[in-house]
Amino acid sequence: MANSLITVIGSINMDMVTVTNSVPKQGETKIGEAYRLNPGGKGANQAISAARLGADIQMIGMVGDDQHGTQLLENLDNEGVSTEMIKKTPEEHTGIANIIVSGRDNRIIVIPGANDKVTSNYVKQFEKEILRSDLVLLQFEIPLETVLYCLEFCNLNGIPIIVNPAPAKSIAKDHWMKATYITPNENEAYQLFDKKNTVNQLTDRLVITKGAYGVSYYIKDKQMNIPAHLVTPVDTTGAGDTFNGALSVAVSEKEDLSTAIRFANAASALSIQKFGAQEGMPTRKEVEYFLRKNKKY
């Protein structure tokens, strides 16, 4: 059986990670514990998550013509992600994410840089490659007009598309209706879908990740919940990206939604047991073994 082909359209960042016992208050200085540079960006993270789980991945994006850009492209190549549709631009620096890890949780500030150059016109030149896809996956760390174009293009051409609306940005209900699945976390869901009428019309599309409270979704307007696995978190950075990559793989392989969410939920649980967004992302074999051990989930 051939691997599914997933096109990820999204951000590529260098993560600047600071680990500290406590987050400083306004005007306060703290001595931190550790500092690391890690490959990141929601698009790149989700591409690598899906690649490790056995899908063929092609990515559309931008990096700066700088050292970070070179390192990030090499990292994607090493993970088996096709980078033929990723351009180096001299007009902007590579995207940066400042991440503070404290108390087994994180706070993130993203500076888009080259990711803002992933315009709809840039993506349009790759329509032929997108049409080959079994599924398209995108996030909100690229221009919103690009997201809307991708939703329209995939909807017109019958290509399943998963939208991870992070960071949260509002779009019209008609655009949401073009998504196959929408995967906000609990905070994003509250910001974007707090109106009852909107939620009711999108129930068959919403998959809401809730951290320690698991994942909620709907079957015929009935809310379902899959509990989180009981693991000890080391670093939650990248957990949502791992989930989205894994969900995309399972959906592209025609699994039913409940099975796909259980698969993604397990992958996410494995990811938070290691430090770094990408370092903890599991392989297919690791997820399947974990699921066998945890059948009650």
Query: What are the Cα distances from residue 57, in Å, to 146, 150, 205?
Result: 19, 17, 23
Cα–Cα distance measured from residue 8 to residue 137, given in angstroms and rounded to the nearest whole number:
5
Active-site entry in 15, 116, 235, 241: 241
- 97: which 2 tokens? 């994410």
Q: Are 247 and 208 in contact (CB under 8 A)?
A: no
Cα–Cα distance measured from residue 116 to residue 242, given in angstroms and rounded to the nearest whole number:
23
Phi-psi domain of 283 (left: phi exceeds 0; alpha: psi -120 through 50; beta: other) = beta
- The question of whether 256 is a catalytic residue gets the answer no
Cα–Cα distance measured from residue 254 to residue 101, given in angstroms and rounded to the nearest whole number:
36
Cα–Cα distance measured from residue 117 to residue 91, given in angstroms and rounded to the nearest whole number:
9
- 18: which 2 tokens? 């600071």
Cα–Cα distance measured from residue 163 to residue 186, given in angstroms and rounded to the nearest whole number:
15
Beta strands in 112-240 (DSSP E): 135-139, 161-164, 181-182, 207-209, 215-219, 222-226
**Residues classed as catalytic:** 241
